[in-house]
Amino acid sequence: MTWQDMLIKEESTILNSLDSKEKKKLKKTLQAAEPTEFFGQDFAKLGDLILMMQELDLVKDDNKLNKKMKTLDEQNIDMVATASKLRKQYETLYLQVRKLVYPKSARKLGDDE
């Protein structure tokens, strides 16, 4: 963060209306809510686990279990697709909230709405 960003952020009407304790709490909560690259990792790990289990001889030799694992794999793929959509919606909503707190900084980030 540059010193110019810090100056722009300080002109926030919302932040300026809060006492220092509330301001600090809002800033920390906003920062904690920022989307991260870890959003979908659990789904990827579950997919790895399912694929690993599908490779086991026990699963390969049991048609019923093999079919169940394929169903679980398909469900995980559906969840990954849903998670991707949710991630995009989350990012959009987060940016809208962030823009309320830091209106000038948001415009600087290319969000001119």
* pLDDT tens, position by position, 7-16: 455 568 888 8
* pLDDT tens, position by position, 39-89: 778 888 898 999 999 998 988 899 999 999 999 999 999 998 998 899 999
pLDDT at 3: 46
- What 8-state DSSP symbol labels residue 33? H
pLDDT at 92: 95
DSSP string, 52-102: HHHTSHHHHH-HHHHHHHHHHHHHHHHHHHHHHHHHHHHHHHHHHHHHHHS
Q: Classify residue 113: in a domain, yes or no.
A: no
Q: Classify residue 38: in a domain, yes or no.
A: yes
> How many domains, in total, are found in the chain?
1
Domain that holds residue 43: 3-108
